[in-house]
């Protein structure tokens, strides 16, 4: 038995489909970008790069990401750095403990007498100037304040993750620009 060859109709349909797809795509290919965030009720999750390390074993650069979790009810920002290179005797373990920031204290919120806080959160991109690091931006809309955070990993006897407040400023158009000065301990 001989296999049938696709007819002229199938070939024409393929060419028309490819042409229509190219026309709808604008004729040029675009780079893919993934968004690393989600929101559910009063919680926000985001991911973002924190460093680019060189793996001596494979001789390639390996990007590392952080996982951020903002909990409205507790007024806490939690973060960790997943480790996908570690394999233990009992299987893989990728998430260690989360470090924590008190957003009520950072933003100077009066949760008992003030308005209910409303947070927005996203990671930024610094490009080649950031050596793989991306800031975490948190905005609180009732106070019109914006904060910049940086997560860092301290290696030693026990690996620890630290979340530093780098900068706090006002988002109001008439807000003081001097409030944008870097806080002590930031880099």
Strand partners, 60: 55
Q: Measure the CA–CA gap between 123 and 58, rounded to whole angstroms.
A: 28
User: Residue 177: pLDDT above 60?
Assistant: no
Q: How many domains does the chain have?
A: 1
| Residue at 94 is within a domain | yes
pLDDT at 178 exceeding the cut of 80: no
Q: Structural domain of residue 111, as residue ranges? A: 37-180
Token pair 């190219």 is found at: 22
Q: Classify burial at 112, counting beta carbons within 10 Å of its beta carbon; exposed 0-12, middle 13-18, buried 19 or more.
A: exposed
Calculate mean pLDDT across residues 150-164. 75
Per-residue pLDDT at 94 exceeds 90: no
Give, in degrees to the nearest 5, the angle at Cα 110 between 109 and 111.
100
Q: Assign 100 a pLDDT band (cuts: 50, 70, 90).
A: very high
Q: pLDDT band at 2, cuts 50/70/90?
A: low
Least confident range of 30-34, 50-54, 63-67, 123-127:
30-34
Residue 174 domain-assigned? yes
Is residue 5 in a domain? no
Does the pLDDT at position 103 exceed 60?
yes
Does residue 133 belong to any structural domain of this protein?
A: yes
Residue 56 lies in a domain: yes
* Structural domain includes residue 12: no
With a cut of 70, say whether residue 152 has pLDDT above it. Answer: yes
132 domain residue, yes or no? yes
Mean pLDDT of the chain: 73
């Amino acid at each position: 038995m001989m296999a049938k060859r696709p007819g002229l109709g199938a070939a024409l349909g393929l060419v028309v489909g490819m042409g229509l797809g190219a026309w709808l795509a604008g004729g040029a290919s675009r780079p893919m970008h993934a968004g690393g965030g989600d929101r559910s009720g009063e919680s926000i999750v985001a991911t973002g790069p924190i460093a680019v390390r060189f793996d001596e074993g494979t001789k390639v650069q390996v990007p590392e990401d952080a996982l951020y979790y903002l909990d409205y009810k507790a007024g806490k920002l939690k973060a960790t750095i997943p480790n996908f290179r570690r394999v233990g005797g009992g299987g893989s373990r990728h998430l260690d403990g989360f470090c924590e920031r008190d957003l009520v204290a950072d933003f100077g919120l009066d949760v008992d007498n003030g308005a209910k806080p409303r947070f927005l959160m996203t990671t930024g991109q610094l490009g080649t100037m950031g050596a793989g690091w991306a800031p975490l931006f948190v905005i609180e809309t009732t106070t019109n304040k914006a904060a910049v955070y940086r997560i860092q990993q301290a290696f030693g006897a026990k690996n620890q993750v630290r979340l530093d407040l780098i900068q706090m400023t006002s988002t109001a158009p008439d807000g003081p620009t001097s409030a944008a000065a870097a806080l002590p301990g930031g880099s």
